[in-house]
Structure 1
Amino acid sequence: MELGRRALLLGTGGLLAGAAAGCSGGSRAGAEVAAATPSPVPLPTTTPWRPDRDDVNPAVKLRAVQVVEAIGGWSAGQGGAAAAKRRVAALGAAPSLVDAAGALLPAADEAALQVIDAQYGGILADSASVLVVCRQWTPGHATGTTGTTVDVRLRRARPRWEVTALHPARPGAAAPSLPAAARRVLAESRIALPPAAEADIRSGHVHESVLRALLRLAGTYRMYVSVIRSGHPLDVFGTDRPSDHPRGRAFDVWQIDGHAVVDPATSRRLVETFMRDAAAAGSYNVGGPVRLSGGAAGQFFTDDTHHDHVHAGFTA
């Protein structure tokens, strides 16, 4: 669930005027005007993310998210790597994880972080990848336009799963110009993009087939995208097969028409129809929580990893 955050109000500075007195030998009237210091923009109040109780393994996601939240959000005066390491250590996780935090730990006196969604990049019996999609606010970026997606790796341990590595998204610089389809996706209100996915599109490294499919689906659905290119494992988790995501040829959706894919209350018919429409929009490889018949050989699939989102992959 994305943060339903309160509006942020910008302080407006007033003008201070003062008259200068004349002195002997002549007089001069004047006014000294100084701009008042703007009121600081407050950071939004965020809420801890919680997994759905019907998830495949809620404890795995919760552990991954706790580490990301501990690194990416802090109160005034608690910025920096040393303080982040203390927060992570307090969770019983390795402080050295902070060394790979990247964009998750900007230089700021304080920060607010809201996890939008946590989905599996892969889950096996003894290892997992959880993609933690988040939005972040700092005093210099209080509009919520920053944030990242972190591929959190874990392994089974006792008494709880252990976080072993963090891989924050690296979308790349924005392209000097974008194709029309990319501009349309960025402007489409029915396609919600978290910061890393939006940056992927702005980089110009997302394939045209992905952009066209998103626009076609937006004609029927309101979608919240979780991952496009960056922040996803390079290989299909647990294999040596390259994933379509890092090549800009896939997208994942975690919410359809306001309903989370992982929520058992979400209509299976809605998810099934969306999956079939993704195939009709050109996806050769559609995965989700519903086992579908029909389509080309191997076009539809389901497994534990795709219990919480719909994946659509495309050929070049």
Structure 2
Amino acid sequence: MAETPHYQLSDFDYDLPEELIAQTPLAQRDHSRLLVLNATTGAYQDRHFYDILEYLNPGDAIVMNNSRVLPARLHGIRPETGGHAEVLLLRQDHGDVWETLVKPAKKSPIGSTIIFGDDPDHPLMTGTVVGELEHGGRYIEFKYDGIFMEILDRLGEMPLPPYIKEKLQDQERYQTVYSKVDGSAAAPTAGLHWTPELLDAVRAKGVKTVELTLHVGLGTFRPVEEENIDDHKMHSEFYQLSQEAADTLNEVKAQGGRVIATGTTSIRTLETIGSKFKGHLQADSGWTDIFIKPGFHWTVVDAFITNFHLPKSTLVMLVAAFTGRENILNAYQHAVAEKYRFFSFGDAMFVYR
């Protein structure tokens, strides 16, 4: 087997005009464009997402991440000063204590409080800083009456990625149509193209649909700062796969079908479990910090749907691990020339061998 070249961060850069960064979702989810890439030959075709049916075979399985994005951005007031505080929920630590990012962090020392709601005298929720983390991180313990998720729905905003400047008119457009398990700080965006009708057509063709859960963390947007990519420390994300889902996918593989992942989050989950159990899937849950880059040994995923990713990101490296660096950068160059829409609300790729 040929040795994998040692790549630097700059090897995964490409030029992207800012106007190609999609600011709003399309009116119809499945009308986004679809760049179909043969990872073996490097050949590509320009299609639309609703054409995905042509590339699926009876006996294949589509895997989807059913995690749901929390309305995790909260705006509060510091009762001592009347100053504004923005709190971004990252993950639940234990009980009502959450790991958060607070702006401005320096004004939120341990013991300080932030209140949430329109009436300062009768806040819907109060948060007390009980611990500090690096990069402005704070552990906050929340106190409230009622059900936390219901209060969050009333108070919170969708935490859109930093490159999206437009306000989202319909919060559900940053959720997949099959989202159901609360816990993500960002959407598994490759799934935003699916519609219930298109999924029904997939099943009618004899393709199985299988769900797993991976709660997307904001680490997915954290830039790689080390030129030697081997020195990059990946963020951890919580995943879960049921025994029923594992059995279905093992059966698909055994009968010669393909496991087709919707998005890099599904890939991370499947390959984490596949690496752990030598290619055989079984019920499993835990935290993964898997770093899939060129040279990675694939054990489960045969093809996948993905959006277009940021230059020099770990997600471009993940796709390059499947396609080869030259194939993916050539495809991206074509997508730029053809004015595809990029990133979370952008167009999609279908990548296969």
TM-score, scaled to structure 2: 0.26
Q: Identify the structure with bigger relative contact order (alpha carbons < 8 Å, sequence gap 6+).
A: 2
Name the structure with the higher helix share: 2
Find the structure with the greater CA-based Rg. 1
